[in-house]
Amino acid sequence: MRLKTALFSALLSTLLLQLLPPALMQSVHESSSADLLFSKIYDAHLSMIPPPKVNGTFNVTFDMAIAQLLELDELKQTVSMLTWRRMSWYDTRLSWRSRVFDGNLSFNSISSIKIPNSQIWKPDLVVYNDVRKTELDWSLYYASIQSDGLVRLNTPQLMKLSCPINVQLFPYDKQVCRMKIGSWTMDGFELNLLNASTHADLSSMAEDNEFCLVKAPLERNVIKYACCDAPYPDITYSILLQVNAACQPGTFWSCSVHFLR
């Protein structure tokens, strides 16, 4: 009886596969191939150990998009915003281009795969002047891995920045809030932090009736402290904010109540 059931299940599975559209069959095949590939390159220890250096250095490239300005609180001296942070680096341990597994198994036809970022090592970049008490859980967001080992990870980040705010010239004042980003545990010999652009990406930022974000240029700094020989690189954004009355004349009364609350 069990043998008949097993044979029937096998025949039914074969029939169903034959009835699938070619595009869907290709998708199923690619998915199973990607799963097999990941099983070959994945090692649980990789999530804890930084990748090997390439030509004596390990580069991490950082970029940021500001999606929405949420609040400017002059009493608490903070500004809150929703951002997307974009990081990329090479992890040669995860590459499969021109590699052969188990003697004759190759995955050169697969250009990239996506996996939960909790399963790989990630740079510990933090915003030094973020005063939030809780952190968004972005462990389930997927990282994209190219066949040459290039890892790209884009995640949302809700931030509340400590920012000195002066409203003496309200509503025509300008506020500059700085955001300093760097590694929490690694110096410049271990992690070389690079910027992908010269300013934050504002192209998809949601409009705000009360504030306008004029620009957000950045500077890459390398600091050496008296205690240590190692350099400490950081990326610091200077975010220029204005009350909308200064950006769009005639909107003073629509925004002043919130700003002076």
The pair of structure tokens assigned to 208 is 């705000």
Give the mean model confidence (pLDDT) for residues 13-41. 59
**Structural domain range at position 147:** 33-246
Nearest to 38 by CA among 103, 93, 104, 98: 93
Establish if 7 belongs to a structural domain: no
Is the model's pLDDT at 249 over the cut of 50? no
* Spatial separation of the C-alpha atoms in residues 196 and 88, rounded to whole Å: 9
Establish if 222 belongs to a structural domain: yes
pLDDT digits (tens, 9 = 90+) for 123-174: 999 999 999 877 667 777 999 999 999 999 999 999 999 998 876 665 556 7
pLDDT digits (tens, 9 = 90+) for 31-68: 678 888 888 877 777 788 899 988 888 999 999 999 99
Establish if 95 belongs to a structural domain: yes
- For 236-255, the DSSP string reads EEEEEEEEHHHHSTT-HHHH
Identify which has the larger pLDDT, 190 or 20.
Answer: 190
Question: 86 by DSSP, 3-state: which?
Answer: strand
Which residues, 6 or more positions from 114, have their beta carbon under 8 angstroms from its beta carbon? 142, 143, 144, 145
Looking at residue 255, its pLDDT comes to 40
First to last CA, the chain: 77
Is the model's pLDDT at 248 over the cut of 60? no
Q: Worst-scoring range by mean pLDDT, 178-182, 226-230, 242-246?
A: 242-246
Establish if 74 belongs to a structural domain: yes
Identify which has the larger pLDDT, 229 or 45.
Answer: 229
Number of domains in the chain: 1
* Spatial separation of the C-alpha atoms in residues 159 and 197, rounded to whole Å: 21
CATH of residue 150: 2.70.170.10
Beta strands in the chain (DSSP E): 59-73, 78-90, 112-116, 125-127, 142-146, 150-162, 174-183, 192-195, 211-215, 218-224, 231-243
Establish if 165 belongs to a structural domain: yes
pLDDT digits (tens, 9 = 90+) for 72-112: 888 889 999 999 999 999 999 999 987 888 777 788 889 99
Establish if 121 belongs to a structural domain: yes
Is the model's pLDDT at 21 over the cut of 60? no
Identify which has the larger pLDDT, 9 or 223.
Answer: 223
Question: 28 by DSSP, 3-state: which?
Answer: helix
Contact (CB, 8 A) for 191 and 60: yes
Looking at residue 179, its pLDDT comes to 96
* Spatial separation of the C-alpha atoms in residues 73 and 51, rounded to whole Å: 41
DSSP category for residue 46 = G
pTM of full prediction above 0.95: no
Establish if 194 belongs to a structural domain: yes
Establish if 15 belongs to a structural domain: no
Q: Worst-scoring range by mean pLDDT, 40-44, 55-59, 180-184, 255-259?
A: 255-259
* Spatial separation of the C-alpha atoms in residues 78 and 163, rounded to whole Å: 5
Looking at residue 251, its pLDDT comes to 44
Give the mean model confidence (pLDDT) for residues 201-221. 88
DSSP category for residue 217 = B
